[in-house]
Amino acid sequence: MFFILKKRKKILIDCFTYHPAIEKEFAISKAVNFYPEWFKKLKNTYTERVSEKNKVEYLRSTMKMCEGFKDYYSLGFIIPLWSDLIINIKKDVGYDFLFSAQNDVLCNIEHHNHNEYGNIFNKYIHGKIITPWLIKEKSGVKFLWTEPKWNMVKNWNNINVVPGTCSYNLQTTAHINMFFINETKRIELTAGQPMAHLVPISENEIELKTHLLDKKDYDKIQGLSSYTSKFVGKYKYRQKVNKEMKVK
C-alpha cells in the first residue's frame, strides 16, 4: 500500500507600508530573525559542581539548547517598532508620548474607553500603538497575537502587550494593544524593538512578503477594511457579507 503525502500549502502573507525607510530597515519579518541579543550571547553549556563538598564538575545546558525556546522563534512573524518612542505615564491621569519619526509618518497611540473592559483594569492604563503597516492574507487563517516576552525583559514591569486572535482576509490593520502600569514613570523603547509576535493557528508554513506602496494606494486598502458601517458588530457584519459574496 502506498500513501501519497500531500504537500502543505503555504500561508501567503502580504505586508504593506508607505515609507521606504520602514520597509527597508524595520520590516515585519519572520520571528527567527528576532532572537534576543542576550540569547545570542549565551553559551550552550555552563560548568556545575555536584556540591560544596564534592568538587566534581560537569556540564549543564543553558537556554541556548532549549528546543521549546527555539521552536517558539521558528513560528510566525514579528512586528518591530519603527521609531524610538518615549511614553511618560502620569498616574491616574494618562500619558504623553513622543515618536522620533512622527514628522515623517503617522505616529500615534490611542486608547479605548474604559467602559469597554470594565473596572478590573483600574490599576492599568490602556494604549494602542497605531502602526504604519497593513496585512492581508486570503485564506482566513487565524493568527494568535502574543507579546514577544523574551525581547521585552527590560519592560516586564512596565508594559503588557495583550493577546488575541484575528484573521486578515477581512481586516488589514495591525495595531498593538497594551496596558501600562498605572504609575508615574518614563518608558523608553528603541526602534527595532519587537512589539508583537503573530503565530498562525495552522501547521502550514508561512511565506511573508513586504510591499512599499504610495500613500494613496495604502489608504485605499486601509479604507476598505476599516470602514465603520456599524456602531456594534462591524467585524461580524463584514464576515456575513463576505460569506454571502462567496456564495454568489
Band of residue 132 on the pLDDT scale cut at 50, 70, 90: very high
Is residue 151 a contact partner of residue 193, using CB atoms and an 8 Å limit? yes
**Across residues 52-66, what is the average pLDDT?**
89
Q: Supply the pLDDT for residue 234.
A: 63
Q: Which of 177, 210, 193 is nearest to 82 (CA)?
A: 193
Q: Whole-prediction pTM value?
A: 0.88
Q: In this structure, what C-alpha cell is assigned to residue 220?
A: 485605499
Q: Supply the pLDDT for residue 106.
A: 78
Is residue 16 a contact partner of residue 133, using CB atoms and an 8 Å limit? yes
Pairing state between β 206-212 and 11-17: parallel
Lowest model confidence (mean pLDDT) among 14-28, 32-46, 226-240: 226-240
Q: Which of 187, 168, 73, 55 is nearest to 129 (CA)?
A: 187
Residue corresponding to grid cell 486598502: 221
**If you average pLDDT over each of 1-10, 54-63, 98-107, 188-197, which comes out highest?**
188-197
> How far is 141 from 144, CA to CA, in rounded Å?
10
